[in-house]
Structure formats: structure tokens, C-alpha cells
Amino acid sequence: MQFRNLISILTILVLLSGFIGFETIRKSEKYVIGIIYPDVIQVDLNGNKTFEQNEIICIPQVETLTSNLTRNQDKLIKNLQISNSDAIKFGYLTDNFSESLLLNKRVKLKYTGQENQNCKFADIIINNESYRNKLLKSGFGFYNGKTLLKNEYNKQLSKAKKLNLVILNHRSNKYHKLGCKYGLIARDIIIIPARQLPKDAKPCKFCHIDKNSDNNKQNKNVIIPAYPLAISNGSIKMYLTDLTVKLKPDRKCSSLACKEILTQINQAQETIDIALYGWDAIPEIHNAVLNAKARGVKLRIVYDTSDNDYYPETKEIIKIADESATEGKTFLMHNKFMIFDRKKVITGSMNFSDTDFSGFNTNCLFFINSVDIAQIYLQEFNQMLAGKFHNAKTYVQHKTIILGDTKITPFFSPKDSVITTEIIPLIEKAQNYIYIPAFILTHDGMARALIKAKQRGVDVKLIIDATNCYATSSKVKLLRNVGIPVKIENYAGKVHSKSIIIDDKYIIAGSMNFTMTGENKNDENCLIIENARLAKYYREFFEYLWQKIPDKYLKQGVRAEGKYSIGSCTDDIDNNYDGKIDMEDKGCH
């Protein structure tokens, strides 16, 4: 008995010792929160997850090039005997190398004891290796103005020279050649691949005089979806919006998706039923609703009350509703659908807000002209109007409706558990590809199904919004670790879609984020649409977005409001919800 007790005590001591050791190691590690230059790093030294001026680490005895034009690197460029343009290109590769290696990683610091008014000097230890040594061995680092490994340096320089980069001025939306003096002196700029230029960006008239120059041919290999971003298939229309084109929201109903909503409001004769998460009183839309009321159309609304601060104008439409009901702040009433005259439905991921109506965010929206679909949605709507939300609702039978060559099946959260019962089985049956443009993915079961699909040879790709790439439960890291390509968008607007495209056959789309809360708690709706023509069209749009987002965002994320998020520092929007807009946000400096 005494021997057993001794063994138990020893076991507890070993476990306790291991835990203390683990905690000691963990606390000795620091978090890299930003890259100023590849040899000047922002490290969260005090653990408060906020960058402060005394938390800058300079890497000792190494120099690097950077594409950050605020740094004077003339002396190093002269020593290397390369052009300014090639130096910027080489710096672009060095920045990517540094960011993919360090950004948002836990590291250890090996201090030299030196410091100056700007930084403390220390080598960074990542995965038990010296970051300084990695810079030197890769050819990206220099000692006393010279490379230590000529072959590696020449390989990187050769790769850099092939890059087609431009200077984009966020504020003027003009782009410049790398050597253009007007681009070099502009303040709000970023170096990007020419293929990633916004569609409406204008060439600088001083450096793009030659009509046959490479920069003027920069878009020739870009996949362009068949604009306008709308496709009709009988009684169904699908609308997509492109965050890479619209870099600033407005109060106009400027997207084709919004114009369809406007048309249906203007044509309504008897009823307009709206389930909304939030409302911005965009003049054209709000006036159309007032006009509909004036001609005798009955307006009924169910709405969410959890985000009144974010959508303060919701109260404007509630005031004029004939009937309304709200969910009472337990879980979200996250639906975004409209029913017109009990025979037509508009639904999808689009909030009724200026950022979505204007096409600033990427969304997927459907207009369906079908009494059968409308009646299914009415059953769901009427329950909420009667005060039954979430699990208080009764089950709505989700019949598959056939409209020509299209099959449509509506599902509603939380009663349907649609990810588990419907979406995962479709993922398990996929044979060729699964493409997912989505605001967020945290659902464990769905992530496991995607991993298994990848393992059996299915082409799985995701585009995730920058706001959520580092969310606590995000599956981005897990999916990347098993070889699934996940790109993080780098534009001011949101990838607000909640959709999946499978095998040029299925589209899954609606208001439901791919989360446990979206599936089992919030009020949501989701469509499974089987139509080859629509699926192929959406797949081509996904491929277009994929090409416009640089490959470096396959390995790292991007700050939702910062100079590398195109347009986010001049859009008058708090893109990362930290209470700071544009140049007030540290990411924009």
C-alpha cells in the first residue's frame, strides 16, 4: 500500500513538474504582432496583445531590403549594385519571407544587451532556430552590406526581377511604376502585384505614357467573370458582389443586387415581409418602402436587437412597419430575407446596409420567383412574427422545389442542424472540388469533413475574411496544416458570403455562418441549390477572387484595417471593429 502511495505521489510530482516547466517555457515566449521591416519586428513583450512603442526588436548584425518605401536603403542598394526597382522587388520577397516566418507566431528572444532610442537588440528564436541566421542563409540578409551566400542571393534576385509590381496610392486610386517619383513621394501607398490592382485604378499619367508598356498589359491574364455580376436561370437569379472593385461604401443602391431589391419593392402590391439583422436607411430603398406603404402595401418585419449600436437606423424602418417582432437578445436573429406578395423571395448573405447595398462587401444573393418557396419562407417568418424564435419555433418541412432544371431546398436554423445533416454529407460525396468563400469557419465537423475530402483527392480551397482569420475557434490554421489552401482576403470590404460550391453542381448559400452557433442557436436560413449553370458561374467568380488575392496570403493573414488591406485606410469604415477609423488605426501608419 505504501509503495502504491509513493508511486502516486511521484506521478503527481512528475506531472506537476512538467506543467510548471511548460508554463515557464510558455511565459518565456513572446508573440510577434507586426513586421515594420524584416529586421525590425514588433513583439508583444508585456503580453497585453497591443503594440507599444517600447516593444520594437531590432535584429543585430544583419541588414535587409524592404518594399516599405518609408525606409532609406540607398547605401545598401549601392553596395549591392542593383537598381531601385529591383531593390523594391527584392524587398517585397524579403517582406513576405519575414511575415510568413514570424507574423502571429510565438518566439523567444536572445537579447544582446544593446538598445537605442528606437529598439532593443535581440535575435529571435523561432522553432529553435535563429531568425538572423535564417535571413543570412536564405540570401535575404546581408552583413556589412554584403551577402554571405552568393548563390542563394542570386536565386532570390532572379526571382525578384520577374515580379510585375506597382505602387498603388490608396487615396488617389492611381498606380505607378516602381521608379515613378510621384509614387515614391505619395503617403498612402502599398506595393502590390499588378494583377491585383482594383478594376477602377487609374495609371499615373507621368509614368504610364507608353501604351504598350507591360504595366498597361497587366490585366491580360486575369480571369474576368462575365459582368454584370448576375446570372438568371428561369425563375432564379443569382447576384454576386465584388469587394476588389468597390473600395468605399456609399449611400447609393449601386449594386445589381440592390437594384433587384429596389425593383421588387416597387412592384409589390400587397405585402412586404422582411427578416433583417440590420438596416441602413439608404434613400432609394427607404423611399421605395415609404412609397409602397403609401399605395397600401402591408409591411411586416422581424429583426435583431443585439446590434443596435452598429445599425442605429434599424429603428427607422421599425417605426413604419404595420407589424414587427424582435428576438429579445438571446441569440441572433441573423436572417436577411424578403418575401414579396407571398410569391417571391430574396435571400442570401447580404445585410440591408450601406456596405452591402453598395457592393462594398462580397455577398451572394438569390431572387426566386416561386409561390412554393415563398410559402416555405412564410411559415418560418410567421412563427418569428408571433414571437417564436430559435428553439421555440416548430419544425418547417424543407421540401425540395423544382423550378425548371433547378432544385432548391430551404433549411432553417436552429431546427434543421443543416451543417451536420445536409452540408457534411454533400462534402463527403464531392468528387472534384469544394470551393468556399466564407466570412468565417469554426465548425469542427465541417472542418473534419473537408480534411477527409482533401485526403481522398478532392480540390479543396477556401477564401476567408481577414476579420476572422485569427478568431479563437477559426479552422484556418488547422486546414492549412493539413495542406488545404486557405487564402485570407486583403481588401477593405468583407468576404461576407456564407457559401460553398461543389463539383459544378451544388451551391450552398444563405445567412448562416459555418459555426456551431449559426447551425444550432441563431435564426438563419440556408439554401441548397442544385444547378450546373449557376454552380459553374459561381466557381468562375471564386477563381477570379482567388487570383486577385496574392499567394502570400496562403501562409499568413492580413490586418483588416491596415496598409496591406487595400482601401481600408481611406474607406471611412472601422474595418476591424476596434473603434478607430482609417488613419486613427495604428495599422494604417
27 contact partners, CB below 8 Å, separation of at least 6: none
Q: What is the pLDDT of residue 20?
A: 45
CB 160 within 8 A of CB 93: yes
37 vs 45, 141, 209, 376, CA distance in Å? 18, 12, 33, 56
CB 333 within 8 A of CB 318: no
Q: What is the pLDDT of residue 355?
A: 94
Active site residue 498: yes
Q: Which residues does residue 126 pair with via DSSP β-bridges, in sequence order?
A: 129
Closest CA relative to residue 416, chosen from 432, 397, 433 = 397
State the Cα torsion 386-391-392-396 to the nearest 10°: 60
- SS3 of 270, please? coil
Angle at 194 between CA 188 and CA 198, to 5 degrees: 65
Q: What is the pLDDT of residue 333?
A: 95
How many other CB atoms are there within 10 angstroms of residue 396's CB atom? 20
Q: What is the pLDDT along the chain (589 residues), one digit of tens a residue?
A: 555 666 666 566 555 554 444 344 445 799 888 888 999 998 999 887 766 778 899 999 999 999 988 788 999 999 999 998 999 999 999 998 998 899 878 999 999 999 888 889 999 999 999 999 999 999 999 999 999 899 999 999 999 999 999 988 876 778 899 888 877 777 667 888 888 787 678 888 888 765 444 444 444 444 455 445 889 888 999 999 999 888 889 999 989 999 999 999 999 999 999 999 999 999 999 999 999 999 999 999 999 987 667 888 999 999 999 999 997 678 999 999 999 999 999 999 999 999 999 999 999 999 999 999 999 999 999 999 999 999 999 888 778 999 999 999 999 999 999 999 999 999 999 999 999 999 999 999 999 999 999 999 999 999 999 998 877 899 999 999 999 999 999 999 999 999 999 999 999 999 999 999 999 999 999 999 999 999 999 999 999 999 889 888 998 888 898 878 888 888 888 988 888 888 888 777 6
120, 237, 498, 548: the active-site residue = 498
Q: Scanning the structure block, which residue is given the C-alpha cell 431546398?
A: 409
528 vs 1, 260, 274, 342, CA distance in Å? 64, 21, 21, 21
Distance CA 277, CA 326 (A): 10
Sign of CA pseudo-dihedral 72, 78, 81, 85: positive
DSSP labels for 326-384?
E--SSS-B---EEEETTTEEEEES--BSHHHHTT-SB-EEEEEE-HHHHHHHHHHHHHH
Domains and CATH numbers, the chain: 30-161 (2.40.50.90), 165-222 (no CATH), 233-554 (3.30.870.10)
Q: Scanning the structure block, which residue is given the C-alpha cell 526571382?
A: 159
Closest CA relative to residue 190, chosen from 167, 174, 206, 157 = 167
Active site residue 496: yes
Q: Is the peptide bond before 414 cis (omega within 30 degrees of 0)?
A: yes
CB 321 within 8 A of CB 301: yes
Kindly report the pTM of this predicted structure.
Answer: 0.76
Greatest alpha-carbon pair distance for the chain in Å reads: 91
137 contact partners, CB below 8 Å, separation of at least 6: 149, 152
Distance CA 583, CA 589 (A): 7
Closest CA relative to residue 554, chosen from 489, 487, 490 = 487
Distance CA 209, CA 55 (A): 45
Q: What is the pLDDT of residue 109?
A: 95
**Cell of residue 201, nine digits:** 485604378
CB 193 within 8 A of CB 164: yes
H or E stretch covering 543: helix 532-548
Q: What is the pLDDT of residue 1?
A: 54
Closest CA relative to residue 160, chosen from 186, 191, 181 = 191
Active site residue 176: no
Query: How many Cα atoms occupy the beta-carbon half-sphere of 231 within 13 Å?
Result: 16
**Cell of residue 181, nine digits:** 517619383
Angle at 344 between CA 281 and CA 390, to 5 degrees: 70
Radius of gyration of the chain, Cα coordinates, nearest whole angstrom: 27
CB 163 within 8 A of CB 177: no
**Cell of residue 436, nine digits:** 468556399
pLDDT tens for each residue of 530-544: 999 999 999 999 999
Closest CA relative to residue 571, chosen from 581, 579, 586, 580 = 581
Helices (H), 503-531: 516-520
**Cell of residue 103, nine digits:** 507574423
pLDDT tens for each residue of 62-109: 999 999 887 889 999 999 999 989 999 999 999 989 988 998 789 999
How many other CB atoms are there within 10 angstroms of residue 277's CB atom? 23
282 by Cβ neighbours in 10 Å (0-12 / 13-18 / 19+) ranks as buried
Q: Scanning the structure block, which residue is given the C-alpha cell 505614357?
A: 209
Q: Which residues does residue 240 pair with via DSSP β-bridges, in sequence order?
A: 364
Q: What is the pLDDT of residue 547?
A: 87
What amino acid occupies position 225? P
134, 286, 496, 505: the active-site residue = 496
Distance CA 30, CA 43 (A): 7
Q: Which DSSP symbol is given to 199?
A: T
123, 354, 465, 503: the active-site residue = 503
Sign of CA pseudo-dihedral 560, 565, 569, 570: negative
**Cell of residue 294, nine digits:** 403609401
Closest CA relative to residue 527, chosen from 369, 439, 399, 430 = 399
How many other CB atoms are there within 10 angstroms of residue 150's CB atom? 10
Q: Which residues does residue 401 pair with via DSSP β-bridges, in sequence order?
A: 408
